[in-house]
Amino acid sequence: MKSTALPWLRQPIWLMAIWLGALAALAWSMGRVPVRGVYQALDNMQLESALILALLNVVVVLLISSRWWLILRAQGHRINLLRLVGYRLAAFSMSYFTPGPQFGGEPMQVHLLTRHGIPVSTALSSVSLDKLLEMAINFTFLVGGILLVLQSGLLGSLASSQVLALAMGLVFIPAGYLAVLWGGKQPLAGLLRRINHPRLQAAALLIGEAETLAGEFCRQKPIALAAAVAISLVTWAIMLLEYYLLLNFLGLSVSLTQAIAGLTAARLAFLAPTPAGLGALEASQALASEALGFGLVSGLTVSLVIRARDLLIGAIGLALTAIFLKKSSIRPHVHLTPEEE
């Protein structure tokens, strides 16, 4: 007899728990704030202010894509930067709307690169390097932000040494992996080989090739690697500027330290295993704003603006994904000679 249970009841328990936790956090945040107060806070945002924030976000997207473009160019493959911007937006939409701490779009990036005739191992190594650098810089910022908050005492009991230890541990994961690749090792491929499962051997071979290419990039292209790190640092500086201006445009007079504290809370929220950090973002901004003395209304208003921005970018990414996947072929890329690199 066919089950008549609702489809969502047949989903894994962990997935249901994630959604229930996200909705509970969202309900807690929304339930404590008067809607009218949020509308009044949003009235402080002028059209010129919104345009400035939009421009800064465009710059951030261009910079993030430029880092990937630089890695690919150093590997001998030249693809139009604007096309890579589209691929990054498509990948963002995949990561944003699926459960997990902002992962999931990387296979889409690899797939889209291979349609240009780039070998899978090269595509995988470029995407992996880009993601590793992004994670290393992101987690370094989080550690710095948490240290600053702990020293200033801005968040009081909300900040703890346990959170700092977790963030520092997260930094060592991508940084340590990069260091091992730099040394010519194949840690992930080696692990898969030890499992010795027939279905994993092909994956181990592919990942091994990608890890070898990534290690060669780190050793043989130090200038490109330094430039990619510099792009990441500039990107974070602009993201901090955008968040600082957002708070001020909403009528909140904040210091740089307060802005760093709020942005740190927001970025930590996106590590939650909920789609788009649902509930976690709203709760983080509400708690951080209250601890900073601005009240829950301000925190929820900030989270709504961030949510609207990310939903717009995600919607653009979904549209681009549909366009890219609909095309049967893509014009081959330009392969650079060693002299051109």
Gap between the Cα atoms of 153 and 167, Å rounded: 18
Q: What is the pLDDT of residue 150?
A: 72
Q: What is the pLDDT of residue 51?
A: 93
Q: Above 80 in pLDDT, residue 239?
A: yes
Tokens of 316: 């653009």
**pLDDT tens track for 25-64:** 555 555 555 555 555 656 667 788 889 999 999 999 999 9
Contacts of 260 (CB under 8 A, 6+ apart): 144, 145, 148, 149, 240
pTM score: 0.80
Residue 224, in any domain of the structure: yes
Q: What is the pLDDT of residue 32?
A: 55
Residue 7, in any domain of the structure: no
Q: Above 60 in pLDDT, residue 238?
A: yes
Range scoring the smallest mean pLDDT among 35-44, 103-112, 137-146, 320-329: 35-44
Q: Above 70 in pLDDT, residue 161?
A: no
Mean pLDDT (the chain, rounded):
80
Gap between the Cα atoms of 318 and 326, Å rounded: 12
Residue 29, in any domain of the structure: no
Closest to 76 in 3D by CA, of 202, 213, 266: 213
DSSP state of 277: G
Q: What is the pLDDT of residue 20?
A: 60
Q: Above 80 in pLDDT, residue 255?
A: yes
- β-sheet bridge partners, residue 78: 334
Continuous segment of H or E residues that includes residue 77 = strand 77-78
Q: What is the pLDDT of residue 336?
A: 56
Residue 167, in any domain of the structure: yes
Residue 286's alpha-carbon distances to 244, 280, 294, in angstroms, are 16, 10, 9
Q: Which residue has the higher pLDDT, 6 or 64?
A: 64
Residue 13, in any domain of the structure: no
**Helices (runs of H) and strands (runs of E) counted in the chain:** 13, 2
pLDDT-derived band at 333, boundaries 50, 70, 90:
low
Residue 14, in any domain of the structure: no
Q: What is the pLDDT of residue 140?
A: 85
Domain count along the chain: 1
Rounded to an integer, the average pLDDT of 68-95 is 93
DSSP state of 100: S
Domain limits for position 201: 42-328
Vertex 286: Cα angle to 305 and 64 (nearest 5):
45
Contacts of 145 (CB under 8 A, 6+ apart): 260, 261, 263, 264, 267
Residue 27, in any domain of the structure: no
Residue 17, in any domain of the structure: no
Range scoring the smallest mean pLDDT among 95-109, 208-222, 249-263, 285-299: 95-109
